[in-house]
Each structure stands twice: as structure tokens, then as C-alpha cells.
């Protein structure tokens, strides 16, 4: 075998059976992915009950809960995959962006395990993981395509190419769309997490009952803004007090329509502007039924193809981290024990130490 062939074989071997670990926020997750695309197992420990009394994620509580559960979650992922730790070819772990205390739990465990097993360790950008979830869901999805990331911490559009880092086309100027869902849920007296609660309430409401703004809709560009929409809902809540069940449902439906209309309009504009015909929608808000239906309708009207991961891959999970890590490994990339956690990290930035 030539040296080049040996290097290719080594890269393929490192990406064969990858353990992914995700702990960037309030989910502690582990998964085993084979050959970068076959999910052997995926285990998620949710902290919804921990944070529900506070109406949002409390960072200190999140990291402490991760410490209590990381070992059991990884062990369960290996058990469900039917593999021993010694059979792993690499470990991929989220290194940012996220809550540093939470990230450090998964990162420390992942680095220690990789060191103990003598296998490579790679850091994975959280958003690269979400984008990988679309390719896990649809192996035929190949660059170039438009990536729409919609979650509690991120709302952004990226041009995805094969040979270059993702190019940021537009992002939120203030609140992320998922954050806006959570804040509106609190305004309406709905439980945490806010996204599913608002969507459930909206099912009984009239989306045209309350006139709410579509921020930046008339302006050029591809940026988003949700703080003004959130404020508009707050003003309507005050004006309509006391809110009955119908009032809550109408406000929830009107907000959901406004929030998702902006996403659809910006995605359509970006596809036309960039000359692309494929769209991948990823992140927790990608589970929203109205968004899925609206983009599916837009795809039929405009002639583009839209890919949504299954609901199990929309929220934070480790299968997406393992898949994204496998891509780095296949490209010959490695990170050492100096790998750090980053609260902020541009997509495409190097995750490991030089």
C-alpha cells in the first residue's frame, strides 16, 4: 500500500465507530455512529424537570446534573449499540458554543476516555453537529446547499460548500427564534420548554386574530430580529388582561405565524440570492409543525428541495456530534488534550488548540 493509501485507510478507520458526546446546554447525550451515517445508538438525558420551576435553563444546575449523569449516559449508549468501549475508533465531543460549565463536563469526560482508549478525540462545533443531522436524515443531501439553523441560541443562514467553511449569510441581531418562543411562553403563562408549549396552544388559536409585526421583512438582507416581536406580544398581553384560554391560544397562534413567516421569507430570499436549490432546516425549532408545513409549501411553489431531520434529531443530541466528528476524522483532523470549551465560537473556526 502506498503512503497515501495508508493515510486514507487510517482516516477511514478512525471514523468507523465514533462515540459522540453532547453537553452544551441542558441535555446530556451520547451516541455511537458507524461510518459517519449509521446511528447505532442515541441516548439523551433531559433536564426539563430540573429547569421547569425556573422557566428557563439555570447554568449551574445544568452542569451539576451533567456531572451526575455523564457516566451512565455514555454506558447506556455503548450498551444499546452493542459495543465495548475498546471497540471505539474515536471520540467526538461538543466543544462550543454553549454554557462553558456544561461543555466542560462532556469535554473532560470525552478527552479522558479517548486518552484511556488511545484513540483520537475531535472537538465539534455545536452548529456543525446540527447541520450534520440533515445529512444523517438524508444521505443524498450534498453541498452546495442552504443551511437554516433555528434553535434556542441560534438563528442563522449558511451557505454550505464541500471544500470551504460554511459562509454566514445572515443571523439574528438580538434574540434567537427559540429564545423568543421561550419568552413568549412565559408571557402567556405556558410551561417550559416554551417552543412545544406555544405550538400546542396555537393549535386552538386563530393566527390572524392579533396583528403582529414581521421584523425586518421589508428591509434588504438576510438578518433576523425577534426582540421587537417579543415586545409586541408583551404589549398585547398587557392590553388584553385578564387573558382567557382563547386569548392565550390566539396570541400563541399569531406569534407562531409571525415568527415562522420571517424564517420562510428569509430562506426563500437566500435560496434565490445564492442560486441554490436545496435547503436543510436544523435545530430545535425545526420540529415546529407550522414551519415545516410553510417551508414544504414554499418548496412546491418555488421548486426547491427542503430537508428536515426527524424530530429525534432536531433537538440537541449526540448522534449529530458523532456524525460531524466522523467528517473531521475522515479529513485527517485531530485535536489533542488541549481541546478547550468555548462559550462563543464562529461556525468554521478551529475547535482545537493549534
**pLDDT of residue 350 exceeding 70:** no
Print the SS3 string covering 16-34: CEEEEEECCCCEEEEEEEE
Amino acid 314: pLDDT:
97
Residue 351 pLDDT grade (very low, low, confident, very high; cuts 50, 70, 90): low
288 inside domain: no
From residue 170, how far is each of 107, 147, 266 by CA, in Å? 29, 11, 9
Give the closest residue to 156 by CA, choosing from 222, 226, 229: 222
353 inside domain: no
Residues 318-345, mean pLDDT to the nearest whole number: 95
For residue 71, the cross-strand partners are: none
88 inside domain: yes
Q: Which domain holds residue 177?
A: 145-275
Tell me how many domains the chain contains.
2
298 inside domain: no
**pLDDT of residue 120 exceeding 50:** yes
**Domain co-membership, 22 together with 67:** yes
Amino acid 217: pLDDT:
86
**Domain co-membership, 154 together with 124:** no
- Whether pTM > 0.85 for this model: the answer is yes
Amino acid 11: pLDDT:
53
Yes or no: say if 327 and 118 are a contact pair by the CB < 8 Å rule: no
**Domain co-membership, 94 together with 179:** no
- Domain of 149, CATH number, reads 3.30.420.40
Average pLDDT across the chain, whole number: 94
**C-alpha angle with apex 280: 145 to 288, nearest 5 degrees?**
160
**Domain co-membership, 14 together with 89:** yes
Amino acid 14: pLDDT:
63
- What pLDDT, in 10s, does the model give residues 66-101? 999 999 999 999 999 999 999 999 999 999 999 999
Q: What are phi and psi of 109, to 5 degrees?
A: -65, -45
- What pLDDT, in 10s, does the model give residues 192-244? 999 999 999 999 999 999 999 999 988 999 999 999 999 999 999 999 999 99
Amino acid at each position: 500500500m502506498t503512503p497515501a493509501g495508508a493515510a486514507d485507510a487510517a482516516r477511514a478507520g478512525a471514523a468507523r465507530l465514533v462515540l459522540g458526546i453532547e453537553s452544551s446546554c441542558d441535555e446530556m447525550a451520547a451516541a455511537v455512529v458507524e461510518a459517519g451515517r449509521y446511528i447505532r445508538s442515541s441516548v439523551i438525558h433531559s433536564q426539563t424537570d430540573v429547569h421547569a420551576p425556573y422557566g428557563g435553563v439555570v447554568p449551574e444546575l445544568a452542569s451539576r446534573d451533567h456531572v451526575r449523569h455523564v457516566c451512565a449516559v455514555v454506558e447506556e449508549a455503548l450498551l444499546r449499540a452493542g459495543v465495548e468501549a475498546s471497540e471505539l475508533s474515536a471520540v467526538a465531543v461538543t466543544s462550543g458554543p454553549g454554557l462553558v460549565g456544561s461543555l466542560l463536563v462532556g469535554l473532560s469526560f470525552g478527552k479522558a476516555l479517548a486518552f484511556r482508549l488511545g484513540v483520537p478525540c475531535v472537538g465539534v462545533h455545536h452548529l456543525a453537529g446540527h447541520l450534520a443531522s440533515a445529512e444523517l436524515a438524508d444521505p443524498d443531501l450534498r453541498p452546495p446547499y442552504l443551511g437554516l439553523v433555528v434553535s434556542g441560541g441560534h438563528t442563522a443562514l449558511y451557505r454550505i460548500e464541500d471544500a470551504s467553511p460554511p459562509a454566514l449569510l445572515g443571523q439574528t441581531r438580538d434574540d434567537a427564534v427559540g429564545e423568543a418562543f421561550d419568552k413568549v411562553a412565559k408571557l402567556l403563562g405556558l410551561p417550559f420548554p416554551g417552543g412545544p408549549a406555544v405550538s400546542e396552544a396555537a393549535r386552538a388559536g386563530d393566527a390572524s386574530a392579533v396583528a403582529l409585526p414581521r421584523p425586518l421583512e421589508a428591509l434588504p438582507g438576510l438578518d433576523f430580529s425577534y426582540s421587537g416581536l417579543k415586545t409586541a406580544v408583551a404589549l398585547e398581553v398587557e392590553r388584553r388582561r385578564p387573558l382567557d384560554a382563547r386569548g392565550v391560544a390566539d396570541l400563541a397562534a399569531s406569534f407562531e405565524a409571525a415568527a415562522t413567516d420571517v424564517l420562510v421569507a428569509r430562506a426563500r430570499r437566500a435560496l434565490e440570492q445564492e442560486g441554490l436549490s436545496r435547503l436543510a432546516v436544523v435545530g430545535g425549532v425545526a420540529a415546529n409543525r407550522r414551519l415545516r408545513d410553510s417551508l414544504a409549501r414554499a418548496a412546491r411553489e418555488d421548486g426547491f428541495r427542503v430537508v428536515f431531520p426527524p424530530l429525534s434529531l432536531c433537538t440537541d443530541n449526540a448522534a449529530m456530534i458523532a456524525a460531524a466528528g466522523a467528517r473531521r476524522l475522515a479529513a485527517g483532523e485531530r485535536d489533542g488534550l488541549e481541546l478547550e470549551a468555548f462559550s462563543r465560537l464562529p461556525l468554521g473556526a478551529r475547535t482545537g488548540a493549534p
